[in-house]
Amino acid sequence: MPDVIPADSVGIVTPEIAHFDQPLSLTSGGVIDTYDLIYETYGELNPQKSNAVLVCHALSSNHHVAGYHSMEDKKPGWWENMVGPGKAIDTNRFFVVACNNLGGCYGSTGPASINPATGKPFGPEFPIVTVRDWVESQARLSDRLGIDTWAAVVGGSLGGMQAIQWSIDYPERLRHAVVIAAAPKLTAQNIAFNEVARQAIRTDPNFHDGRYYDFNTEPDRGLRIARMLGHITYLSDEAMREKFGRDLRDEKIDFDFDVEFQVESYLRYQADSFVGKFDANTYLLITKVLDYFDPAENFGGDLTRVMAQARASFLVVSFTSDWRFAPSRSREIVKSIHDNDLNVSYAEIKASQGHDAFLMKIPHYLDVVGAYMDRAAKEVGA
Amino acid sequence: MPDVIPADSVGIVTPEIAHFDQPLSLTSGGVIDTYDLIYETYGELNPQKSNAVLVCHALSSNHHVAGYHSMEDKKPGWWENMVGPGKAIDTNRFFVVACNNLGGCYGSTGPASINPATGKPFGPEFPIVTVRDWVESQARLSDRLGIDTWAAVVGGSLGGMQAIQWSIDYPERLRHAVVIAAAPKLTAQNIAFNEVARQAIRTDPNFHDGRYYDFNTEPDRGLRIARMLGHITYLSDEAMREKFGRDLRDEKIDFDFDVEFQVESYLRYQADSFVGKFDANTYLLITKVLDYFDPAENFGGDLTRVMAQARASFLVVSFTSDWRFAPSRSREIVKSIHDNDLNVSYAEIKASQGHDAFLMKIPHYLDVVGAYMDRAAKEVGA
């Protein structure tokens, strides 16, 4: 818990819930009749309503981007390094909004929510959603908040994919898109890792075809494996070497199946602390959101053609040691923007932390985003 | 099944079993009192017994390196591309020997074998073995076959690690070591992947602490996940792109959890065909053999110091797209040999297939090994 809330934190924050009654038609052909989105806001919306920034979250995170929910909170929001008074996304200047995406498990309607039609959790009946569907639901949240145009839509990893989709689907509703550690679509290898994670969850005997809520159990073993695997892809080989090397946990080799090396201990800890706080059906769903993301799909696979719809200016950021979404993937995005004569700044940040770098306190990275956001703020008089 | 046995195959082969009664003291401190090693041989041992080549196998393979067990066999041995009459390891010139390693599940004594002390399968009582222990057991097999000095000890991946260990532990008993797609020890990331595979198996409810034989079941779900994960690390991102791209299995997206992309289908098929033919306790054991391999461990981590014991000449081969054991890892091995003024040839083969390249019919690769083995044959008058 924070003894004292740091001065550069947004402090104690309280999430709000927006309820939507207008049915949402999904890319898959399904419909969600009614739904809730849980969200947080930091800073003040200016009278012109021009200083709003939407932060989109990645696979396993949520609407709690910055600050603390109470003085008992052990940790701040997941992007405390980035968002706060005087920080790169400066809450003294911007009104920052973040919601838990549809299908999530942190308060927005998702597989664990009660299906009004049955009175039981949706489970496997929750429809497959896509990044487009998320953007549509976020656009409705924007309407609700009276925000016509975002000063910027910002996100890392899957969050960056949402920023790209925003620029395509609502070109007039954002001035800037900040796309960090993202890719224009997954590789076969990315999909393969997702598939192993899904198979681990779906073959867990406690999965019960996704209806585990009815059995008062959870496919924890599968979710644990999925999370361990995820963590390997979030870290670079280099980061693992720096963090753990081949250090033994004890001084000597034990020749058994208990934890022998530090890296094993790290993975088990990360997995154990994830289980119980994340819903397995949401995990499955969001890996599918990632697999299906491919904005160029209906444009003959030509990213330049689809990005022709965009009007925003872009900041694209990648990290040298990110092998999940490597810098080359960001450069594909940059090229498609360039090809359309749109403004794009690109920064390839030297960092050893792998994909996870986008969450970290890396001065050069935060400076780059800060400088870009400073100009974005000035444009709207913030 | 082969309609006709190809002329460049060793043809129909029959494994043999060598039984050992002399207890084997293990690196872990344990002892195996008696054990069997199943092995195959191809070609003829010359009167001077100087033309013998030992082939060491990798994680999930075995003693069946080349040829067919019967006319009904669907596939030949795992290194049919490399070993046979007129091939790189030419069975017209060499007497090739390969055994299933101790702890294996193809006929050598392993966790699924009956423990004479209890009359039940060893299961978790089977001791942890190491590459050193394997080399010791292979040395005893050499004695049994009357082979004092190997013309070469050859292996890919974990097999290459055995060739390195041979050169350290029995420097006078091999003239050449051929080390393909190997590493001097695992990285933290390598260990991390192994740990996820182990956790998948060990948390399968059918694992029963490794005593699943008593329950007439197998931890198939866990082994399936382990195998899928393994396959991702055996292929390069590039190989996956070439093989599958993001191709859909059907022409349209189904928006469900059935197989959507080709790569998912491939992984599920590979996993399903592995389960039922490989023992999960052996899989666990061999991942530990990999984790523990570190010949420089007792030499202050200095590979050059430990390689000072070697007397063999070396061929080291790596593949450009191998990210499991990257070329840089092979160069570490090469450097440690160079530093000791030993003969070493090194070839970095341009190949897109990733780690699996060592098994494949890549002409330049097979030519390099063939040319090296030709010289090795001439040295011994074969």
pLDDT in tens, B71-107: 999 899 999 999 999 999 999 999 999 999 999 999 9
Tokens 């920034």 correspond to what residue? Answer: A53
B68, B3 in Cβ contact below 8 A?
Answer: no
Q: What is the pLDDT of residues B119-141, one digit of tens each?
A: 999 999 999 999 999 999 999 99
The pLDDT assigned to A50 comes to 98
- Percentage of chain B with pLDDT > 70? 99
- HSE, side-chain direction, 13 A CA sphere, residue A26: 19
Most A CBs within 10 Å: which of B204, B217, B229, as the mutation test of the A interface? Answer: B229
Q: Measure the CA–CA gap between B365 and B91, rounded to whole angstroms.
A: 18
Strands (E), chain B: 16-20, 24-25, 31-32, 35-42, 52-56, 83-84, 89-90, 95-99, 114-115, 120-121, 152-156, 176-180, 313-319, 344-349
In Å, how far is B247's CA from the nearest CA of chain A? 9
Identify the pLDDT of residue A36. 98
> pLDDT at position B248, please?
84
Contact B192, A240 (CB under 8 A): yes
Pair B337, B303: CB distance under 8 Å: no
| Structure-block tokens of residue A314 | 């872009």
The tally of CA atoms less than 13 A away on the side-chain side of residue B342 is: 27
pLDDT band at A2 (very low <50, low <70, confident <90, very high): low
Per-residue CA distances from B122 to B125, B131, B277 (Å) = 5, 20, 18
Predicted local confidence at residue B340, as pLDDT: 98
Count the neighbouring beta carbons within 10 Å of the beta carbon of residue A33: 12
pLDDT band at B2 (very low <50, low <70, confident <90, very high): low
Q: Which SS3 state, helix, strand or coil, does residue A209 take?
A: helix
Residue range A266-314, pLDDT digits in tens: 999 999 999 989 999 999 999 999 999 999 999 999 999 999 999 999 9
Provide the ipTM. 0.95
Q: Is residue B178 pLDDT above 60, yes or no?
A: yes
Interchain CB distance below 8 Å, B186 and A29: no
Predicted pLDDT of residue A188: 95
8 A C-beta contact, residue A204 and residue A222:
yes
- C-alpha to C-alpha distance for A162 and B133, rounded to whole angstroms: 53
User: What does DSSP assign to residue A128?
Assistant: P
pLDDT tens figures, B29-62: 999 999 999 999 999 999 999 999 999 999 999 9
Measured from the Cβ of residue B298, the count of other Cβ atoms closer than 10 Å reads 9
In Å, how far are A139, A156, A162, B132, B351 from A169, measured between CA atoms? 10, 19, 10, 61, 41
**Alpha-carbon span B351 to A13, nearest angstrom:** 54
CB of A246 closer than 8 Å to CB of B185: yes
Q: Which of B199, B255, B264 is closest, CB to CB, to A128?
A: B255
Distance CA B51, CA B1 (A): 31
Contacts of A206 (CB under 8 A, 6+ apart): A212, A215, A217, A218, A219, A220, A221, A222
Q: How far is A380 from chain B (nearest CA, A)?
A: 40
- Looking at the predicted structure, is the pLDDT value of residue B210 above 60? yes
Res. A251: pLDDT tops 60: yes
The residue to which tokens 């390693």 are assigned: B101
**What are the angstrom distances between the C-alpha of A53 and each of A134, A182, A248, B81?**
16, 19, 45, 59
Distance from CA of A195 to the nearest CA of B (A): 6
**pLDDT beyond 90 at B23:** yes
Q: What is the pLDDT of residue B367?
A: 98
- Residues of B marked as catalytic: 157, 322, 355
For residue A249, name the pLDDT band (cuts at 50, 70, 90).
confident
Checking if the pLDDT of A15 tops 90, the result is: yes
The pLDDT assigned to B233 comes to: 96
- Its pTM stands at 0.96
What is the pLDDT at residue A106? 98
Does residue A234 register a pLDDT over 70? yes
The contacts of residue B73 (CB under 8 Å, 6+ apart) are B1, B2
Q: How far apart are CA A314 and CA A317, in angstroms?
A: 10
B264 inside 8 A of chain A by CB:
yes
* Alpha-carbon radius of gyration of chain A: 21
* Mean per-residue pLDDT over chain B, rounded: 96
Angle, nearest 10°, between helix axes B220-234 and A188-202? 170
Angle at B200 between CA B197 and CA B205, to 5 degrees: 150
Number of C-beta neighbours around residue B11 at 10 A:
16
The pLDDT of residue A1 is 52
Contacts of B27 in chain A (CB under 8 A): 255
Find out whether B270 and B227 touch, Cβ atoms under 8 Å.
yes
Q: Residue A355 catalytic?
A: yes
Q: Could you say which residues from 81 to 140 on chain B have a Cβ atom under 8 Å away from some Cβ of chain A?
A: 127-128
